[in-house]
Amino acid sequence: VKITVYRNAHDLASALAEDVADRLSAKPTLVIGLPTGRTPLGFYREIVRLAREGRADFSRATTFNLDEFLGARPEHATSYRQYMERHFFGQINIDPGRVHVLDGGASDARVECERYEAAISEAGGIDVQILGIGSNGHIGFNEPAASLNARTHVARLRPETRRANAAMFGGDASRVPARALSMGMATILGARSIVLMAIGSGKARQVEGAIHGPLTTRLPASFLQIHTDVRVMLDRAAAARLRPGRRGTCAP
């Protein structure tokens, strides 16, 4: 795991945008896994700016979003699909046919999950998966639990996750859907490279556990330790509990 700590969220966002632009230059048909939430907003702003300046060309790129609320049709104002249209897809030259977001309004959620897995395979797999981390350690909507799902599935959201998403629903956590569709752990870990970003002191404990702690389904991000190409991008507050030189937990 390669960890970089930035002075602030803006520096982190522009470094990630530059990194994605470089990857696109090297491989114009790049397949990118994308997150939603507050953390990636700065990144989307910066990569849109690079695209406008002609330094990031998405015309042949393919994207797959991590997750979507169950019941949220693509045209729903509170769907992640609309978040993505607003902050990213609507502002770049991407081919709509190469944009993939789980359809929260699909009549059969299981079929939708299978369709998504097949689409990722057909695209040749994900080259780079960009992730945020929940304040409970989730990645995608793989929530802390006694067991985790390998593949794209219907996830039950924990109360803290619904609270974290309440802003999109007029501040009312009870209006946040209780279930979502999400890539599974193997879907995420199947990406050829992974970038995890975290901003703010509210993520420090989970970042510490993800990097230094044991692998545990109680902190899904800890499984990133088994991947061979992971970059972790943090601001100072999110990195506050990391100790230089300290690696994973030693056996007792």
For residues 107 and 174, is the Cβ–Cβ distance under 8 A? no
Residue matched to tokens 């990031």: 56
**Positions 157 through 186 that interact with ligand PGA (CB under 6 A):** 164
x/- mask, ligand PGA, residues 130-149, rule CB under 6 A, reads --xxx---x-----------
For residues 99 and 89, is the Cβ–Cβ distance under 8 A? yes
Please identify which of the residues 68, 100, 112, 138 carries the catalytic annotation.
138
Cβ nearer to ligand PGA, comparing 135 with 193: 135
x/- mask, ligand PGA, residues 98-137, rule CB under 6 A, reads ----------------------------------xxx---
CB count within 10 Å of CB 250 equals 5
**Positions 7 through 36 that interact with ligand PGA (CB under 6 A):** 35
Cβ nearer to ligand PGA, comparing 99 with 210: 210
Q: According to DSSP H, which parts of the chain are helical?
A: 9-26, 41-52, 80-87, 109-122, 159-164, 185-189, 204-212
Minimum CB distance to ligand PGA, residue 220 (Å):
10
Minimum CB distance to ligand PGA, residue 56 (Å):
22
Residues that contact ligand PGA, how many (by CB under 6 A)? 9
Cβ nearer to ligand PGA, comparing 23 with 162: 162
Annotate 201-215 with b (16+ C-beta within 10 A) or e (fewer).
eebbbbbbbbbbbee
Cβ nearer to ligand PGA, comparing 21 with 210: 210
Of the candidates 156, 139, 162, the residue with the CA atom closest to the CA atom of residue 224? 139
> Is 93 a catalytic site residue?
no
The residue type found at 107 is S
Of the candidates 200, 81, 184, the residue with the CA atom closest to the CA atom of residue 139? 184
> Is 160 a catalytic site residue?
no
Of 1, 37, 166, 242, the residue at the interface with ligand PGA (CB under 6 A) is 37
Helix (H, G, I), strand (E, B) or coil at 172: coil
Minimum CB distance to ligand PGA, residue 57 (Å):
27
Q: Does 39 bind ligand PGA (CB under 6 A)?
A: yes
Please identify which of the residues 46, 65, 67, 100 carries the catalytic annotation.
67
Enumerate the β-bridge partners of residue 230: 194
CB count within 10 Å of CB 77 equals 10
> Is 67 a catalytic site residue?
yes
Of 22, 25, 27, 38, the residue at the interface with ligand PGA (CB under 6 A) is 38
Say how far apart CA 157 and CA 42 lie, in whole Å.
25
Residues serving a catalytic function are 67, 136, 138, 143
Contacting residues toward ligand PGA, per CB under 6 A: 35, 37-39, 132-134, 138, 164
